[in-house]
Amino acid sequence: MRTTIVLWSAVSGAIIGLFVDATLIGVALLFSAAIPGLLARLQQRWIAVSAGVVMGLVLIVTVVLGFLEGQLKTR
C-alpha cells in the first residue's frame, strides 16, 4: 500500500511536469507570434538544446517533488 502511494504521487508529479512543459511551449509560441523576429532566433541550435534541458529539469523536479509528497503521505 505504501509503495503504491509513493509511486502514484511520483506519477502525478510527472503529469504536472508535462503540463508545465506544455505551458512553456505555448508561451514560447505566443511570443514568437507576437514578435516577428523572434521565430528566427528560436530556431538556433543552442536555444533548442537549452530549452530541452530546462524541460527535462522541470520534469525531474516535479517527479522528485511528487515522490517527496508521497513520502509525507505515508508517515
- Domain segments of the chain: what residues? 2-73
Report residue 75 as a C-alpha cell.
Answer: 508517515
Assigned C-alpha cell, 74: 505515508
Instruction: Determine the Cα–Cα distance for residues 8 and 15; give it in Å rounded to an integer.
Output: 10
Alpha helices in 1-75 (DSSP H): 2-34, 38-42, 45-73
Yes or no: say if 11 and 66 are a contact pair by the CB < 8 Å rule.
yes
Encode pLDDT of 57-73 as tens digits.
999 999 999 999 999 99
Could you tell me which residues come within 8 angstroms of residue 52 by beta carbon, excluding any fewer than 6 positions away? Answer: none
Per-residue pLDDT tens for 21-54?
999 999 988 887 888 777 677 677 887 888 889 9
